[in-house]
Structure 1
């Protein structure tokens, strides 16, 4: 598969940290990549994980405006906990978060960052009218919503994309790519990695398999 043929999407809950870390790394590696959130509205992080910011934004709110709002609220706090730094870096990648359900583009591979997001992505894909009759691989990787974990997992996502990119047939290589990474990184198996292949337009047939500690599911819709 030529490099330009692999379209990649990464979806987390609000398109702030996990999906954007992967977006940044994949973009630097030359992949055609988009990142999205799945929940609306966007909820900004608060001073601590237990104290979310009361401000709610829609997906058209620019990262620079979010940054300005937090700076006015408590510059020292949000600079100290790294939130402003995250928003400033996101602004260099794209102007504002995007919602997966509002995107009509097609992708060869979609990575989700937690099971709830995976469920929403699959629900959205299954509800769409079939147009291209092309398969899309949906890979769920449970990623803790911290900067360190998001960065670490973004490199793993990049490795998987490189495996897909080098394959002659993504249909045959999907399980192998996930499986080989699982064998090399057994310590990650407790987090769970879920591979789903979706083909719209063929009715509900579900095949389940187990492979190197990861759940692999194949859908034909």
Structure 2
């Protein structure tokens, strides 16, 4: 990896800061990137025993508390569907899910995992007071919210981060980089620039 990986900062954002953003966070941090992850939802939702009864938590609930709660409820179900394994990974990365809207840190690149989340990130930028007009590149790669897709998504996000961070002039090169990346990703890529 080039020196760029350590100077640029990246945020990965999904809805609940559980699956897709955390898989990518894990992947990128192992490769030495300056990375954080977030969710944009109002609450953290995890699958429940039935589709209409998800487990809902506040963003202040730690991954460890969620893990223990699901172990109490149905350890077999949540082991089988991979949720306990996911929470175990998450709690080794950071204490609890974080909401993007509550973060004051600035990022060079913000990668979202679905269009709705991309829209929420842009909306958040529009409501913030502008400080120094530092640009943030917001990029969306659609990743379905399941374990297999989260792993594929983490590889794609890592590939994209490598391409972005090797650039000497990201603001100038980004459109070309994304044009090269899109056919490799085999999914549409959205991109916009917002300012802090």
**Equivalent residue, structure 2, for 1:30:** 32
Instruction: Please report how far the alpha carbon of residue 129 of structure 1 lies from its aligned counterpart in structure 2 after TM superposition.
Output: 1.1
- Which is higher, the Rg of structure 1 or of structure 2? 1
**Equivalent residue, structure 2, for 1:148:** 148
**Equivalent residue, structure 2, for 1:40:** 42
| Aligned pairs (5 A) from 1:1-221 | 2-47=4-49, 50-53=51-54, 55-185=55-185, 188-189=186-187, 192-199=188-195
Q: In 2, are the aligned partners of 1:47 and 1:81 still within 8 Å (CA)?
A: no
| Range with bigger deviation, 171-180 or 16-25 | 171-180
| Range with bigger deviation, 173-182 or 116-125 | 173-182
TM-score using structure 1 length: 0.84
Q: In 1, are the aligned partners of 2:112 and 2:118 still within 8 Å (CA)?
A: yes
Instruction: Please report how far the alpha carbon of residue 64 of structure 1 lies from its aligned counterpart in structure 2 after TM superposition.
Output: 0.8
TM-score using structure 2 length: 0.94
Give the root-mean-square deviation of aligned CA atoms.
Answer: 1.4
Query: Which stretches of structure 1, 4 residues or longer, exceed 3 Å deviation after superposition?
Result: none
- What number of residue pairs does the alignment pair up? 194
Q: What 5-or-longer segments of structure 2 have no aligned partner?
A: none
